Structure 1
Amino acid sequence: MSELDKVDRAILSALQSDGRMSNARLAEVVGLSETPCARRLRRLESAGYIERYRAMLSRPALGLGVVAFVYVRFAVHDRAVALRFEREVLGISRILSCHNVSGSADYVLQVVARDLDDYGAFMRDELRGLPGVTSVESALSLREVKANGSLPLP
């Protein structure tokens, strides 16, 4: 599928708001009957526009009161070390995202923790020991302004 039409965008937008929406409700929202809606949805899934469905959990309800953005730097830029670092990061659930970036840092991580003590222990016991890491700098989130996770649709 190379081009999204108005109905495809409406389907994707509706599902970004409510991924548990039934096909009947989705068809109603986008103005289709159920069978064509289901067919379009399967096509959007198979074309890779929809990667997966999942629930958005509440950080506060789970006791995760700290969000930190961590700038990780390497002293030596060795591809094998970077790949080992990336493999290790994939296995750490409190790291919500990891981006290899340009600029003064090599990676930017988004990390959650229960509180500052928990975050400090994570830094000391896990993050600083990862392959290649020579320095880290943290920016703690004071207040989350936006985090809906929805992508803009072309």
Structure 2
Amino acid sequence: MNNGFQLDAVDREILFHLSQDGRLTNAELAKRVGLTSPPCLRRVKRLEEAGVVTGYRAAVNPEAVGCGLKVFIDVEIYANDRKTVEEFETAVASCEEVVEFRRMYGRPDHSTRVAVADHAAYEAFATGKLSGLPAVLCYTSHLIMKTIKATG
């Protein structure tokens, strides 16, 4: 870890349990990792303050909120000047359909994951938003057949 922060076996166990269920009470978490509540809480606070634990989120079923179609998109852009790249990234990141967006080393330049209701909604996103951005050279869509494992 940076700045000399070291994780021991108990810290790793705490992280494992919190990643499985971020709503665990401190008492239940302490029980699972073999501590009493006060030292467990101190460890959790230390992990939060060190930036190891960055937040707690609800896992939302995409189908239940009308976003059952998930698509990975590889995007190549023609520009490499900072201003154009930043404008492109800001525009894509602001799209509500985009649930994950990464700048890559090599090709493709960017990898994006979108969640939409159906194929028509994806077509509207791809043709109406993504392909209309000035920096886009090309993009390749990968529709997900089945999710085998997804974490975090």
Q: TM-score range by the shorter chain?
A: over 0.9
Q: Please, which of 45, 55, 58 is the counterpart of residue 55 of structure 1? A: 58
Tell me the residue number matched to 1:140.
Answer: 143
Structure 2 segments unaligned to the other structure (5+ residues) = none
In the TM superposition, what is the alpha-carbon distance from 1:92 to its structure 2 partner?
Answer: 1.6
Q: Which residue of 2 aligns with 1:68?
A: 71
Query: What residue is the counterpart of 2:24 in the other structure?
Result: 21
Report Cα offsets for 1:45-103 as digits up to 9, x if no partner.
00110001110100121121211111111122222111111112221221111111133
1:130 alignment counterpart: 133
Unpaired runs of 5+ in structure 1?
Answer: 150-154
1:83 to 81, 86, 105: 86
1:30 maps to: 33
CA gap 1:86/1:2 in 2 versus in 1, 3 angstroms: same
Corresponding position of 2:10: 7
* Deviating more after overlay: 50-59 vs 100-109: 100-109
* 1:91-106 alignment, distance < 5 Å: 91-106=94-109
2:118 is equivalent to residue 119 of structure 1: no
Tell me the TM-score normalized by structure 1: 0.91
| Structure 2 residue matching 1:109: 3-state secondary structure | strand
Q: Distance in 2 between matches of 1:3 and 1:79?
A: 36
List, as ranges, runs of 4+ consecutive aligned residues in structure 1 with deviation greater than 2 Å: none
Deviates more, 1:25-34 or 1:92-101: 92-101
RMSD: 1.2
Further displaced range: 54-63 or 130-139: 130-139
Equivalent pairs counted in the alignment come to 149
After TM superposition, the score normalised by the length of structure 2 is: 0.92
Q: For residues 104 and 54 of structure 1, what CA distance do their matches in structure 2 show?
A: 31
Question: Normalized per residue, which structure has more helix?
Answer: 2
